Structure 1
Amino acid sequence: MGPDDHTKFIKNFPTVDLVSAGPALVTKEEISDILRTLLEISQKVFIERIKKEERRLSSILLVYLEHVDFFSKHNVDLVVCDHFNEACIEASITSKIPFIYTSVPLYSLDTSAPYINIDFLSFHNPSNKDVSFFERLKDKVINPIHFFIKARGFIKKSQQEKMALGLETTSNPAAKLKDAIKLFNTAFGFAPARPVGPLVELIGPIVPKTHPVLTDDLQQFLDSHQKVVYVAFGQHAVQATEELGLIMTSMLENMETGDIDGILWSVRDMEHLFPETLQTRSGQIYRIRELFGKKEGQDILFLEWAPQVAILHHPSTRLFLTHGGAGSVYEALYNGVPIVVYPFFGDQPAAAVIAEENGYGRRMKKNTD
């Protein structure tokens, strides 16, 4: 059961039926807007974004009622709820049906430890290792106080909406998961080791058994190069033109020195965000926009869609510049390709830290010289 835009996720599973829960609560444009806000790192801007989300509360609660109705009509015995699907969790509790909680990051009360960060204001550092006292004070005390003062209106309205439906409100929503089996698509090494409860199972990393193959153009490009950098920042990450220019310039300069001989970039309708031209330290000027759409005789290839696993599997792919999403990290390591992580939001900053600590990647830090 899920929104209409989730149909693509089950196309390879013919025995699974998708029951529509209606249109997506958030459009593609709204996702981009939200993510741009998250990238600003400004707490003031973030709070303003939360206030705008109040209008979506009623829609979320409507989905909850649809779940309750579906469970009742179909005599559901067990439910599997995604980490982000609060409606599913609440409906399971209301219907007194056992549920399994699924997630990628190890964020739950029975995966916590004194040295582990699992709250959203501090999980950019996966643990307290090498984190200064003042940074911990900011993450654990100062920022939470500011957040709850500024967001109290939204929190109060959310609690009122839930109480009107007879739902239990709590200061710690994670407590509602205490009796649920929890499946995490990760493993120690991708997350810091810690003791876990008996209801926790680490089942990752999950890598697809089948995947799309290389197109003829991609096959020819990779076969004709030996040191290719593949760049992909996932489905939702949004870059600024300045960021794209900085990344592109650094790769062009590496091409000029011969450290790499090709660039593959999955751009996903981002052509308009790239700068028109770039100049490297050598004085060479590149007309970036003119490279889009060209496929033959190029050392730089921009793609609207990329068969990622197939690209990573090709021996010419020597480095993967990624946002740090779990799927991308797993696929890179499965194919033996080192990564450079340029994180944006969520668990990606922590993934960048862990990649560097464990030696299978490096991280690019934002807002630093």
Structure 2
Amino acid sequence: MKNTILILIFVSIFCLHGNCSRIFAVFMFPSVSHQVIFQPIWKELSLRGHQVTVVTPNPLKDQSLTNLTEIDISFTYKLPEIVGVLNSVGQKPTLVQKMLSIFELNMLVFESEMKSQAIQEIIQRQNDKYDLVLLQYSHFANVMLPFAYKFNAPAVGISSLGVFLHARDDIGNPTHPVISPDYILGISGNMSFVERLKCFLYNLWYRALYYFYFLPRGDAIARTYFGDDMPYLGKLAKNLSLLLVSANPIIHTPTPNVPNIIEINQLHIKEKKPLPKDLQEFLDGSPQGAIYFSLGSNMKSVNLSSTLRKEITTALAELPYNVIWKWEDDHLADKPDNVLIKKWLPQQDILGHPNIKAFITQGGLQSIEEAIINEVPLVGIPFFSDQPSNMRKIEEQGIGRMIDYASLTKEKLKSAVIEVSQNKKYKENIKRCKSILVDQPTRGVDKAVWWIEYVLKHKGARHLRSPAADMSFFEYLMLDVISFLVMIIIIASYGFYKLIMSVKKALSVRKIKKS
């Protein structure tokens, strides 16, 4: 009771001095691995006295957070198209199919949420005032930017993984197709000529697809809910005050960023908790070592093809280790005796057990950070999104091995697990990577909140804005200047040519007259 009174006094003083703000946050995409990045931010903002209203499919439901209002949109997890994507493990879509499916999924989720009663009530209320709007800025989620227009408030975008090219264009950040290839390509490190050509052409193709197809369609859909008075969606995107990007120096290539792109990491890392009794006994009873196997929150092991599952279970059975496998069903056909299956597992706490030798993962960014923090080498089986490029980085850093699921065999998986578990170089390399990752002046969540409060304090961050954000591509790439210079060179060359021809003709005439 005494602590509660002290907290209320502190919050009252905080708000009295003008530091208490109203924040509207919308994190739309139904993905646990995305939402765990955002949750610490909205929790910390509410603890600092800000009145936070957040739209999320993963509400915290923490009654002690009295400044927090959560609008639950978890129904989006049950959308048929979302379920279909998660059940399509083992398919290899083309790049065009990937981009179109990501866009369509985003639009589906957006429209489903906008039609919900809770969101409709927010849109229809005319007197609501907010000082800041936080937006999920992964993929094509900038369709939520009209909320910033509705509330006449500065917007801050937050990405739980890398961002597509258009997000960097929105904020005027320079992009180099080879130095900083888009993560969807799955290309990194020393590139061949073909890979560099692919990166260059992708930069042109993606921008054409986005600016002439995705953006107009998104704008048309947004107008259905926010009205035709809304400025063009592309113009709203240019008013983004800040972009917080989940990135770390182990996985991501160093990139020249403008001042209002802020890199954050380790937001979801938690203090270790005691393991459930059965898991503790299982791991304690594995003196020879244990392997942790999980394909994350989006991928589901239960949806693996029967052929792939058979190769995996056979490989696990022949390992000299026990295995804990996140398996989303009560039964696993031909389950090996050394394998323990669970529908849900406390991943960070398991990785912290000293008997864990390796982590078989899909290669998601959050899982990789957890493995590095706990010094557990990786065996990656990437499927989509940033997973392939993440695992290429893991191999380059020497802290794990990658296996293409399309060519996975019992021998490949068994060999990779034994190698990363028994070869000391992987453990040594991951210790080195951990020392780099954790060596930062402040926690990721504190850094994110500091910058959000910075935008609140200055009512935007226009002074950090790069001039490139307001330039057209012709201006930014100086195509008009280059065209002008080329034209001058052509005119001068033509004039010089005509002069030479005139002189030559005059000399010929003079020669004829002399003859």
- Provide the TM-score with structure 1 as the length reference: 0.75
Structure number with larger C-alpha Rg: 2
Q: Residue 293 of structure 2 aligns to which amino acid in structure 1?
A: V
Corresponding position of 1:134:
194
**SS of corresponding position for 1:180:** strand
State whether residues 3 and 24 of structure 1, in contact with CA within 8 Å, keep that contact through their aligned partners in structure 2: no
Quick check: 1:180 aligned with 2:233? no
Corresponding position of 2:112:
59
Corresponding position of 2:133:
79
Match of residue 90, structure 1, among 132, 142, 146: 146
Unaligned runs of 5+ residues in structure 1 are: 277-286, 292-297
Corresponding position of 1:249:
314
Which digits, 9 at most, give the CA deviation of each residue in 1:137-187, with x for residues without a partner?
Answer: 4455379859978xx8877644433455334456x79x8256421222322
Change (3 A) 1:241 1:6: same
Q: Residue 33 of structure 1 aligns to which amino acid in structure 2?
A: G
Which digits, 9 at most, give the CA deviation of each residue in 1:236-280, with x for residues without a partner?
Answer: 114323222222222222x2xxxx320110112384xx5x3xxxx
Question: 106-115 or 76-85: which moved more?
Answer: 106-115
* Structure 2 CA distance for aligned equivalents of residues 69 and 162 of structure 1: 15
State whether residues 133 and 153 of structure 2, in contact with CA within 8 Å, keep that contact through their aligned partners in structure 1: yes
Corresponding position of 1:282:
none
Percent identity for Structure 1 against Structure 2: 22
Corresponding position of 1:284:
none
Q: Residue 59 of structure 1 aligns to which amino acid in structure 2?
A: S
Match of residue 236, structure 1, among 267, 278, 298: 298
Change (3 A) 1:45 1:261: same
Which digits, 9 at most, give the CA deviation of each residue in 1:94-149, with x for residues without a partner?
Answer: 43311221113342412733424454652x22x4x333333444455379859978
Question: 39-48 or 75-84: which moved more?
Answer: 39-48
Shift of 1:343: 1.1
Q: Residue 384 of structure 2 aligns to which amino acid in structure 1?
A: F
Quick check: 1:6 aligned with 2:58? yes
Quick check: 1:18 aligned with 2:53? no
Unaligned runs of 5+ residues in structure 2 are: 1-52, 409-515
Corresponding position of 2:362:
323
Q: Residue 248 of structure 1 aligns to which amino acid in structure 2?
A: T
Q: Which has the higher helix share?
A: 2
* Structure 1 CA distance for aligned equivalents of residues 93 and 297 of structure 2: 23
The count of aligned residue pairs is 336
State whether residues 363 and 391 of structure 2, in contact with CA within 8 Å, keep that contact through their aligned partners in structure 1: yes
Quick check: 1:225 aligned with 2:286? yes
* Structure 1 CA distance for aligned equivalents of residues 124 and 354 of structure 2: 51
Which digits, 9 at most, give the CA deviation of each residue in 1:57-89, with x for residues without a partner?
Answer: 64355477666556x544210122122443432
Which digits, 9 at most, give the CA deviation of each residue in 1:309-363, with x for residues without a partner?
Answer: 1111111111001111222111111111111111121111111111111122221
Corresponding position of 2:160:
104
Corresponding position of 2:398:
359
Corresponding position of 1:348:
387
* Structure 1 CA distance for aligned equivalents of residues 261 and 128 of structure 2: 28
Match of residue 92, structure 2, among 8, 20, 41: 41
State whether residues 77 and 83 of structure 2, in contact with CA within 8 Å, keep that contact through their aligned partners in structure 1: no
State whether residues 377 and 399 of structure 2, in contact with CA within 8 Å, keep that contact through their aligned partners in structure 1: yes
State whether residues 264 and 301 of structure 1, in contact with CA within 8 Å, keep that contact through their aligned partners in structure 2: yes
Change (3 A) 1:34 1:218: same
State whether residues 121 and 143 of structure 1, in contact with CA within 8 Å, keep that contact through their aligned partners in structure 2: no
Change (3 A) 1:28 1:208: farther
Which digits, 9 at most, give the CA deviation of each residue in 1:281-332, with x for residues without a partner?
Answer: xxxxxx32xx6xxxxxx52101111111111111111100111122211111
* Structure 1 CA distance for aligned equivalents of residues 82 and 272 of structure 2: 26
- Provide the TM-score with structure 2 as the length reference: 0.56
Match of residue 302, structure 1, among 341, 346, 349: 341
**SS of corresponding position for 1:214:** coil
